[in-house]
Amino acid sequence: MPEIWIIAANTFREILRRKVIYVLVFLGVLMMSIWLGQMTFMNMAADAGEPELILQMKTSQTRAFFGMWGACTAFLGLFLGAVALATEIRNQTIVPVLVRPIPRWAYLVGKWLGTQLFVCLLLGLGIALGLAIMRVFELETRPLLWFGMLEMFAHATLFTGVSLGLSVVLNPVLAGGVTLLLASIPNVFETLLRHPHWALKGLASAVYYLSPAQMPTDLLADSFERELLQPDYSLYARVLVENFLYSMTVLLAGCILFSRREIKLK
Amino acid sequence: MNESVIEIQGVSKTFRSGLRRVPVRALRNVDVTVSRGTVTAFVGPNGAGKTTTINTVLGFLRPDQGSISVFGLKAGSRDARRRIGFQSEIFHPYPFHTAKAAMEFYGRLSGQPRADLADAVECQLERLGLGDSMDRKVGTFSKGMTQRLGLAQALLHRPELLLLDEPTTGLDPQGRKLVADIIQEEQMNGTTVFLSSHILSDIERTCDRLIMIRNGEVVLEQEIGSRFHQDGWEIEVLGWGAEADADLARAGYRPARVDGTVACFECSSADKSDLLRRVLDLSLDVGVIRRPALSLEEIYMDHVKGRRGA
């Protein structure tokens, strides 16, 4: 389907021209500056001759960098996914595209691919920077860290795919909000899973299985721990695959609905 | 020649707006047939349902009732869209494209092979007078240039059906003439054109048929000849005088205008023969018998104000 790639490439170019992206980049640079400011404490520890403390600080700085970059990218993916369709309908740029003989689902998949490509490139840039920092800090990389990076990609994919899929039937604010809610809901309902009352337990189970899978541990944080208690790689891989399939399912449902829905232009 | 390209049968569409979901009937039992090779004008006041009709033909909206087919295919289907070129009232391209890149983008989405695309893009941009602006960003275009680009992209894949929704919006007289010329060229190439417009002089010049819509209902469907005839007659009587005036007044006929010895009567088709017989019985001469013709503008105003039709 060449049209998917044509739309994806166009979406990518469109994102690069969004002013809001540059505001976010500016905020990112600002946060990085604050992060770099923390380096002065490291210099103070070096002056005091505290190698253990320096290692601890290096580890936490790197962990914070990965965490911050991952979260920023995931939220950017959530935002871009939620507004992708609504912006095109509001600006009516969708009209000359959808009068062409392309299936509606191909259009939506193209939009997702373009957004995903942008988010992944940004994430790749962050990971490259993180690895460079680790090299400068002489920190060792562990297999779990690679899983942590994969989790960052899976998270970004989940946020982009689900918010775009939901934006077919919800306005962008609601689509973004519901995506966030879906991602955080399992934590809220986890305690209810063991509730003695059958109704609450049933409700919690339903919500639990309808929401994305939760990683049982913070892979990035754990990858910087000195002692690791038998990491369950197959479980982590299953969660990642499950979440990827979850976002694809929501996107597929979005494609089906988008193929049937009316496009009301003002 | 009579093969239908667009067939709209009994289409109704209601929108619901606001929290109370107040229904607004946009189309009421609309029947429209557009034959191959014709240029059909679709006219009506703002909010009459023209754009809603076009959007249902394109498949953006679904009718609540009735059916629409394009080339015998379901409206909005891929095969139907492949054969349609569409220009919206205001063309909305991506502002970061150059004119050439925008055309290539739409051409590739239409499935045009890359090898033919470069020539087709250049040809259509030249045709619409945008040859010198090929490498300019569309975001810097004037409204008129954007509209011409809109028409160029609609023509790019040589569609069999051109759907034009107010194509001359924002165009200067030169641009309007260019559009009218292109419509005529396309018709000569066998393209069917369905044109929604407010510019009645353009319609009189370029269209074969007129469909008028008001409050979501088709109120007039007529071939555009040189004149639009009213349902009635005008009879000019020579040698008019007081005696004739009194005689005909007794029979219920009074002249609409009298100019010296010339009287002008307006009557229905049913009364025409009787009036003529009486005039000849009075040994008067009949100067002219004609069906009064209205301009397209008069017809339009009559229908818009609801003095005629539905």
pLDDT in tens, chain A (266 residues): 889 999 999 999 999 988 877 887 788 788 778 777 777 777 777 777 777 888 888 888 888 888 888 888 999 999 999 999 999 999 999 999 999 999 999 999 999 999 999 999 999 999 998 899 888 888 887 888 888 899 999 999 999 999 999 999 999 999 999 999 888 887 777 778 888 888 888 888 888 888 888 888 888 888 887 666 778 889 999 999 999 999 999 999 999 999 999 998 87
What backbone torsions phi and psi does residue B69 show, to the nearest 5 degrees? -130, 145
3-state secondary structure B53-118: HHHHHHCCCCCCEEEEEECCEECCCHHHHHCEEEECCCCCCCCCCEHHHHHHHHHHHCCCCHHHHH
pLDDT, position B96 = 94
- Given B15, B84, B94, which is nearest A10 (Cβ)? B94
Q: Per residue in B47-70, pLDDT tens?
A: 889 999 999 999 999 999 999 999
Q: Per residue in B83-119, pLDDT tens?
A: 999 999 999 999 999 999 999 999 999 999 888 899 9
Collapsing DSSP to helix, strand or coil, B161 comes out as: strand
pLDDT, position B307 = 56
Nearest C-alpha of chain B: how many angstroms from A176?
23
pLDDT band of residue B310 (cuts 50, 70, 90) is very low
- In Å, what is the CA distance from A137 to each residue of A49, A131, A223? 16, 10, 15
Q: Per residue in B267-283, pLDDT tens?
A: 888 888 999 999 999 98
Q: Do A2 and B108 touch (CB under 8 A)?
A: yes
Over residues B244-270, the mean pLDDT reads 90
pLDDT higher than 80, residue B299 = no
pLDDT, chain B, mean: 89
Over residues B200-223, the mean pLDDT reads 88
Give residue A158's Cα distance to chain centre.
6
A92 at B interface, C-beta within 8 A: yes
A226 at B interface, C-beta within 8 A: no
A49 at B interface, C-beta within 8 A: no
d(CA A144, CA A219): 6
pLDDT band of residue B227 (cuts 50, 70, 90) is low
pLDDT, position B308 = 54
pLDDT, position B216 = 92
- Is the separation of the CB atoms in B160 and B209 below 8 Å? no
Over residues B163-176, the mean pLDDT reads 90
pLDDT, position B293 = 73
| Nearest one of A76, A75, A64 to A218, comparing CA atoms | A64
pLDDT, position A226 = 66
Q: Per residue in B186-205, pLDDT tens?
A: 999 999 999 998 888 888 88
Nearest C-alpha of chain A: how many angstroms from B208?
26
Q: Burial level of B271, CB count in 10 A (0-12/13-18/19+)? A: middle
Tokens of B228: 């639009």
**What residue spans of chain B are helical by DSSP H?**
50-58, 78-82, 99-109, 114-127, 143-155, 173-188, 200-206, 242-250, 269-281, 296-304
pLDDT higher than 90, residue B132 = yes
For residue B47, how many C-alpha atoms fall within 13 Å in the half-sphere facing its CB? Answer: 5
ipTM of the complex: 0.86
Nearest C-alpha of chain A: how many angstroms from B39?
20
A17 at B interface, C-beta within 8 A: yes
Q: What is the DSSP letter of B307?
A: S
Q: Do A93 and B82 touch (CB under 8 A)?
A: no
Q: Per residue in B3-17, pLDDT tens?
A: 899 999 999 999 988
d(CA A113, CA A11): 8
Q: What is the pTM of this model?
A: 0.84
Tokens 């721990």: give the residue: A225
Collapsing DSSP to helix, strand or coil, A231 comes out as: coil
- What sign results for the dihedral spanned by CA atoms B78, B84, B88, B89? negative
pLDDT, position A222 = 83
Q: Which residues pair with B164 in a beta bridge?
A: B87, B195
Collapsing DSSP to helix, strand or coil, B277 comes out as: helix
Q: Do B106 and A10 touch (CB under 8 A)?
A: no
Q: Do B78 and A103 touch (CB under 8 A)?
A: yes
CB–CB contacts below 8 A, A to B: 64
